[in-house]
Amino acid sequence: MRARQNPIKQTGRAGTGAQVAEFGPVLFVLFIVILIPFLALLSFLDGLAVVTWAVNQAARAAGPAQSRSAAQAAVAAVGDQILGGPLGAFARVTPRDHTGLKLVVLQIPSTSGGASEFPPGATPDTTHNFYEYQVTGTYLINPLFLPQLFKSPVTFTSSAACENPNGLSH
């Protein structure tokens, strides 16, 4: 009995053409279904990280300030530097400057009671209270791709101890 021959070899064609023909649709699926949503998610997560980082660094920069106005200037400088940089651009964080950062001074009683906002110009009482700077950042993250899916307003808060509470009245 005679063995059957391969029909592809009878025609003289190579058997690898099907793999090349399927590469185009697979590449389309790879880019559209997997890669673009992944980049959008990466951009969104970058936005969360940048806003959190900016708020934390702004609070840390305000802590050693000699006065309330110096603390506000430190918060503005750090916010402009971090949010205006390339990471803020990739995440398309808006606004791209310090205007989303709010600095508040909290007065915390040393014995009992809750924290309250310390008004500007008031004289600090360092014998009965502790003071800390609280920075709140409110921003809108517009990811690089698919902003309708991942667009999100975020708010983060960070605090740092006020190292020079006697300068709060200035």
Tokens 């001074």 belong to residue: 105
- Position 29 scores a pLDDT of 81
143 versus 133: the higher-pLDDT residue is: 133
Q: Where are the domains of the chain?
A: 18-169
| 170 three-state secondary structure | coil
Pair 111, 130: CB distance under 8 Å: no
- Give the distance, in angstroms, between the CA of residue 87 and the centroid of all CA atoms in the same chain: 8
**DSSP states of 127-141:** TTEEEEEEEEEEEEE
Q: How far apart are CA 101 and CA 118, in angstroms?
A: 18
Is residue 115 very low, low, confident or very high in pLDDT (cuts 50, 70, 90)? confident
Count, residues in the chain: 170
| 81 three-state secondary structure | helix
- Position 5 scores a pLDDT of 62
Other C-beta atoms within 10 Å of 33: how many? 10
Q: What is the mean pLDDT of residues 69-82?
A: 94
- Position 70 scores a pLDDT of 93
Q: What is the mean pLDDT of residues 73-94?
A: 90
- Position 61 scores a pLDDT of 95
Q: Name every residue whose Cβ is closer than 8 Å to that of residue 78 and which is 6 or more positions away in sequence.
A: 54, 57, 58, 61, 98
- Position 12 scores a pLDDT of 55
Q: What is the mean pLDDT of residues 92-102?
A: 91
Q: What is the mean pLDDT of residues 146-166?
A: 87
Q: Is the pLDDT of residue 158 over 90?
A: yes
pLDDT digits (tens, 9 = 90+) for 10-61: 555 555 555 666 777 888 887 788 888 888 888 888 889 999 999 999 999 9
